[in-house]
Structure 1
Amino acid sequence: MMEPIAYKRKLEGKSNAHLITFNDGKDYVVKYFQAGFEKSLPNEWVGYCLGRYLDLPIPFAKIIDIPQEFSSKFPELVEMSKIPYQFASVYVPDCLDGHRASNICRITNHQSLAGIILFDYWLNNHDRTRKNVLLRKEALHTYRLWVIDQAEVFGGYAWQLEEIENLSAGLIKSATHQMMAMFIEDEQEFYEQLELIQTIPILLVEEIVTLIPDEWNVSKEERKAMVTALVTRRNKELPDIMKNFIKKVYRPLHDCIENLKSLKNSRP
């Protein structure tokens, strides 16, 4: 059984994340349930499970129950320890976020990038900023990419029923998506990822949503709306969103890259 053994620090950001060491010897980023962010933990759980099923580079995570005896020792945690069950994901060390990594010439796990972009559009994640990707340097100008923080899928960390039933089908203004798109070698990768998303069993989606702890206060109607949004969106809206992204973002980027290469090669 996983148990916390040392509190390290509160992490930057609005998602109320804390770095805690557990008895398996690993550090975890632990997010506590908090008022005003009621859907952040359910979002994290559903996003994590679906992302891992798609084999996306998302750190291992699980729902845990940290004993009140531990949380009560730290002023940062004591007020939040009354709600059982938190969301904990393995801390990935030695990484830079997208703002601090520079001169990125190669991403070693580039095969995952089309899947990440479609995953964000499927779950309507408008928070794929440079702070929510991690880059671990593996060689000169060469990085492995991880995605973190799915707290704002379904449109936000405090979505209401009427909002999840009317998710946006437009393109997301994301410099991070543009950066990732530059390293996708063939647009056919988008179609392969779309097929994978569309073949996820509906029963699996329902089971993931069912496993959201009751203490996180997601109503029966909201759970049903989450499943309906995911199943409907992947079939009716995601294909058009994907084609729009390829047309307006992916192809222009790669046309620009090819033009720059041609210009460089033409110089005497």
Structure 2
Amino acid sequence: MKKKGGNIILNRIFPVRYLGKFKEGFSKPQLFEMNDGNTYLVKFKDNPQGTRVLVNDWVVGKLAQLLGLPVASFEVAYFSKSDFKKFPVLYRYGFTPGHQFASLLLKDCTGLWEPRINEEIVNRDALPGIIVFDYWVNNNDRDTGNVLLERLSDNKCYLHLIDHGLCFPGYALSKDMLKKVPMNLLKQPVHTWGVTQIDDPKSLMQFTEKVLALPSEQILSVINTIPDDWDVSSSEKKAMYQYLLSAKKALPILILKFIKKYFRD
């Protein structure tokens, strides 16, 4: 546990072995084995997309967990200056030491671009919640690469959510950009596919009620866990909090518009 500037980071993990650069990703994510024995895909501070993608990934992921959505496991990883000396490639990318965002690397997965037609998605009932949640956080990047299907046994697979860096206004997040909640329908391929998997559109409104019932104190608590060295000011945290409250109020209108468009019957 480490306390810095009033912000306490619990259960941090740290790197043990560098496994190389991940093959995809604008943020130049890197693969590391951590002290817990697992392999993680790590997004670093000062990556080409900026540190705000870490903020979005962390906050949106924690909110998804509160709502019981199948977001892939993630942690805060701490990379000290000595770790950077041990793995000098990190300096060459322009990254900086400190707290980083680490997502557990899932094995035997494919993106939704390779749907396993003959396999049953065992958590298909999460799809209404995924769509509603994406509207709450204004996720403009729920493409087929940000949903993973993990192979289980007996022709079954499990759906995981990853990569929430482009939620809110995106990685160029600022106080001014958080003042207005977008009221347009999102054009995301996963949502279009998800409609074909939903039996009753009422399930969308049911999950909307779940979001509306999420206590404001829990939302604020999540925002307050943002590591201090991700450089989010108190006024920016307040703006994010107010945005999420305003977006909650707008959510029923957006979901009714979504239902009207995609469930004409």
User: TM-score range, shorter-chain basis?
Assistant: 0.7 to 0.9
2:33 to 5, 14, 21: 21
Structure 1: 4+ residue segments shifted above 4 A:
139-142
Equivalence for 2:149? 135
Amino acid at match of 2:13: M
Does residue 1:124 correspond to 2:132, yes or no? no
Q: Give the Cα separation in 2 of the matches to 1:132 and 1:107.
A: 16
Q: How does 1:56-67 map to 2 (within 5 A)?
A: 56-67=69-80
Structure 1 residue 223: deviation in Å? 0.6
Structure 1 residue 75: deviation in Å? 4.5
**Contact 1:19–1:28 at 8 Å: present in 2 too?**
yes
Equivalence for 1:49? 62
Structure 1 residue 185: deviation in Å? 2.0
Amino acid at match of 2:103: S
Equivalence for 2:159? 145
Amino acid at match of 1:224: K
Structure 1 residue 123: deviation in Å? 0.4
**Contact 1:68–1:81 at 8 Å: present in 2 too?**
no
Q: Give the Cα separation in 2 of the matches to 1:42 and 1:168.
A: 20
Q: Give the Cα separation in 2 of the matches to 1:55 and 1:74.
A: 36
**Contact 2:122–2:156 at 8 Å: present in 1 too?**
yes
Name the SS of the counterpart of 1:131 in structure 2. coil
**Contact 1:83–1:215 at 8 Å: present in 2 too?**
no
Structure 1 residue 172: deviation in Å? 0.9
Equivalence for 1:8? 19
Q: Give the Cα separation in 2 of the matches to 1:184 and 1:49.
A: 25
Q: How does 1:123-202 map to 2 (within 5 A)?
A: 123-138=137-152, 142-202=156-216
Scaled by the length of structure 2, what TM-score is found? Answer: 0.88
Equivalence for 1:231? 245
- Structure 2 unaligned residues grouped into runs of 5+: 1-11
Name the SS of the counterpart of 1:154 in structure 2. coil
**Contact 1:98–1:134 at 8 Å: present in 2 too?**
yes
Equivalence for 1:34? 46
**Greater helix proportion:** 1
Structure 1 residue 55: deviation in Å? 0.8
Higher alpha-carbon Rg: 1
**Contact 2:81–2:97 at 8 Å: present in 1 too?**
no
Amino acid at match of 2:42: V
- Structure 1 unaligned residues grouped into runs of 5+: 256-268
- Any idea what the Cα deviations from partners look like across 1:23-68, whole Å, max 9, x if unmatched? 2111111110125523111111110110001111112212221222
**Contact 2:44–2:51 at 8 Å: present in 1 too?**
no
The alignment of Structure 1 onto Structure 2 pairs a total of residues equal to 251
Change in 2 beyond 3 A, CA 1:180/1:24: same
Name the SS of the counterpart of 1:63 in structure 2. strand
Scaled by the length of structure 1, what TM-score is found? Answer: 0.87
Structure 1 residue 105: deviation in Å? 6.0
Does residue 1:244 correspond to 2:261, yes or no? no
Q: How does 1:89-128 map to 2 (within 5 A)?
A: 89-103=103-117, 106-128=120-142
Structure 1 residue 140: deviation in Å? 7.3
**Contact 2:79–2:97 at 8 Å: present in 1 too?**
no
Q: Give the Cα separation in 1 of the matches to 2:78 and 2:258.
A: 40
**Contact 2:219–2:241 at 8 Å: present in 1 too?**
yes
Name the SS of the counterpart of 2:152 in structure 1. strand
Change in 2 beyond 3 A, CA 1:246/1:105: farther
